[in-house]
Chains A and B, each alone.
Chain A
């Protein structure tokens, strides 16, 4: 206990690694790290000292869509998947993903028959988005669904918005058309 903690400037790097600094002080340390080799070395040393504590945290399986999003964000080839050995052509993989999502969509549009009319707007290497229409029971097109691969977002737009936004109608589909 002989060292006075408040007089030890090197502790700032330990506090940075531990994560107790507020956003402003953290930003100060990061600016310093960008220009100072000594600061970088000090931080690396504290990372080596403290990081092993993470061994106490139990691993948890991330949901499969996380890897898909990472791959999409980086525009990686579809072959770099969870199962690297089962190599498949890129497009059918995207198709399967799309089909899974379309099932979720059909739950929202329960009264409709989902008709998958896949339109790939762009060829490989990167497929920015996929589009499809969702038919109503009478066969008319009820919605257009667009899958934005880069952000892994699905956008569903009614083909005739006035049918779906009548007072009190809410999300209920007008089945008579």
Chain B
């Protein structure tokens, strides 16, 4: 099931047909993207039960809202990843216990690319983003990456990275501004 069709037209077609209540297309969409989106859930939530529940939420939402997907406006995989991250972040915010005592070592962990994707497969957008991230000052790059993969708030990230809140906010905001400039150039 982890067979990935990254042919965006094919995924886009499946998502569009799902929006027209085509159950076969919906099943196929799950087959092709469920593994990738489950990976995102697991990485952010770090709890298999939560990850399964969020994946379920994602796909029930896909079934109900796929008619709002506009292939001219978004790439299907991007749309699905954004929905998944959104649901995972909502779930993280609802958690009572915050993982403040779960340290992130910015110097070591967050510069890794745990599974360096094949650039050709990951697409041009990834290659561009990666280049722009590499152009950032290391603390900016690491904190933006840590934020993306953990879905943690500024406050949680500051505690987990053991840096003052103001410093962390500044790293991330400056990093985002530079990313925007780099990606638009």
Contact = CB atoms under 8 A, between A and B. Distances in A.
Please tell me the size bucket of the interface on A: 35 or more
Contacts, number: 161
A62 B93 CA distance: 23
B23 A80 contact: yes
Contact of A61 (B28, B38, B115, B123): B38
B135 interface: no
B39 interface: yes
A71 B152 CA distance: 31
A54 interface: yes
B153 interface: yes
Given A5-B177, A11-B176, 6 more contacts: A6-B173, A20-B147, A20-B152, A26-B89, A26-B93, A52-B128
Interface of A: 1, 3, 5-6, 8, 11, 14-15, 17-23, 26, 44, 47-63, 65-67, 69-70, 73-74, 76-77, 79-82, 84
Interface of B: 1-2, 4, 23-24, 26-28, 30-31, 34-36, 38-40, 42-43, 52, 55-56, 59-60, 63, 73-75, 78, 81-82, 85, 89, 92-94, 113-117, 121-123, 125-126, 128-129, 133, 144-145, 147-149, 151-155, 157, 169-170, 172-174, 176-177, 179-180, 183
29 contacts: A5-B174, A6-B173, A8-B173, A11-B177, A15-B172, A18-B147, A18-B148, A20-B147, A20-B154, A21-B153, A26-B93, A44-B74, A47-B78, A50-B129, A52-B123, A52-B128, A53-B126, A56-B113, A57-B115, A59-B35, A60-B39, A62-B34, A62-B35, A63-B52, A70-B59, A73-B56, A74-B60, A76-B63, A77-B23
